[in-house]
Amino acid sequence: MHKVLILLVLAFTIRSVQAQSALQSPDKAETDRLITAVEPRMIEWRHDFHQHPELSNREYRTAAKVAQHLQALGLEVQTGIAHTGVVGVLRGDKPGPVIGLRADMDGLPVQERVDLPYKSTEKGEYNGAEVDVMHACGHDTHVAILMGAAEVLAAMKADLAGTVVFVFQPAEEGPPAGEEGGAELMVKEGLLERYKPEAMFGLHINAQTPVGTIRYRAGGIMASSDWFYITVTGQQTHGASPWQGIDPIVVSSQIIQGLQTIISRQTNLTEQPAVITVGIIESGVRANIVPEKAELTGTIRTLDTAMRRQIHERIIRTAEKIAESAGAQADVRIENKTPITYNDPALTAQVLPSLLAAAGAENVIERKPMTGAEDFGFFAERIPSFYFFLGGMPPGLSPEQTGAHHTPDFYVDDSGMQLGVRTFCYIVLDYFAKIR
């Protein structure tokens, strides 16, 4: 019933978007003019960030450039949040609500293979090793888009009936081993209490989505990401006489098969998708020795909190009982890494007219949920939030012809960024107009 109500609300919103826009939205002509004017500089910023990517919690150059830009616009600026995060506050000349716009800043330990004039040749240190660094997920575009939105909205300060908090977040890809970071640390350090946004908005450019289009979803749009660690303890023996011991490798293989039946036989996948993946198996030192222990490490992806809890319980039960049946022992530890990225249904319905006005109704598409994860979910856990996908695939290409995210061939087209700025600005203006 809840899902039916959400769909009815969204359907009604789409039908009434023109009437709502006419009543509530300020004139967008000046906004569009300012966006067109800022686009060349926005592309320059993006190329510079792309050429000089920085790893998580090491975004020093990026943060400095962002802070300088925000200060030049006359915003209140705070740096050093969650190590390298930057926050700029734009207070409109009229009273109104406080909302946040977020962009992530970090690159990845990937060697770029795309032949661009602004190709990255940067090096960095990741887990103690020297690595190539690349913006292989589009965070460079996110930073440039939010800088562009800040410039446009700052020029409209006299007409703004509210406050915009621009959040430039480090370490979305995860902090280095032994460090905290990202949205989780920003929340932990009190960002939401300090600035008190009543809603948060974020976007992600997508290399397989055509330029000029937006994809959104009410409810869970990206999955939670949890890691599990299973230690299977058996009894070591000679490989020639395995009956004299308890083989943890064989028990581990049975546990792996059992984990897959949690998804295929115990989880209602008609409600939401879910994934259990074992990514690491470590055991043994010699071919003719049955070892004492085996270690399994993997990830869990869910889009529903109840399903998430049930799957965690079933992983523990499955591993422990299979091990017990063989005379072994399984110790299970689950780390909650990233929560579900959840789009508040009421907020989604409220901002959908802004998306339609920015991109055109034919270019705003409701998408299926993704089993990828995003630490924007830490904001969405605390306040109503909305997260959407922005097209970055060049015209004339198909998804099969474009490099995937987190790969050396990743590429997004500069022309997709203007819609990102327009959508952010329309969301702000329409939100302030409606609340007022």
Q: Is 172 a catalytic residue?
A: yes
**280-291 core/surface letters (b: 16 or more CB in 10 A; e: else):** ebebbeeeeebb
Q: Is 381 a catalytic residue?
A: no
Neighbours of 1 (CB within 10 A): 5
- Distances in Å between the Cα of 225 and the Cα atoms of 154, 251, 282 are 36, 26, 22
Cβ contact 356:20 at 8 Å: no
List, in sequence order, every beta strand (DSSP E) within 284-408: 289-290, 293-302, 329-338, 341-343, 364-366, 385-393
Rounded CA-CA distance 347/431 in Å is 10
Helix (H, G, I), strand (E, B) or coil at 250: helix
How is residue 271 annotated by DSSP?
A: T
Helix (H, G, I), strand (E, B) or coil at 67: helix
Assign residue 425 a region (left: φ > 0; alpha: ψ between -120 and 50; beta: otherwise): alpha
Rounded-to-10 torsion of CA 9, 19, 389, 55: -110
For the stretch 71-76, contacts whose Cβ atoms lie closer than 8 Å and that sit 24 or more positions apart, written own/partner, are 73/150, 73/151, 73/154, 74/154, 74/157, 75/150, 75/154, 75/166
Question: What are the residue ranges of helices labelled H in 73-215?
Answer: 139-155, 182-188, 191-195
Among 285, 222, 290, 193, smallest CA distance to 250 is for 290
Axis-axis angle for helices 17-24, 345-359 (nearest 10)? 90
Burial of 247 (0-12, 13-18, 19+ CB in 10 A): buried
Q: State the catalytic residue, choosing from 54, 59, 106, 226.
A: 106
Helix (H, G, I), strand (E, B) or coil at 204: strand
Q: State the catalytic residue, choosing from 172, 184, 247, 413.
A: 172
Axis-axis angle for helices 345-359, 417-435 (nearest 10)? 130
- Catalytic positions: 106, 172
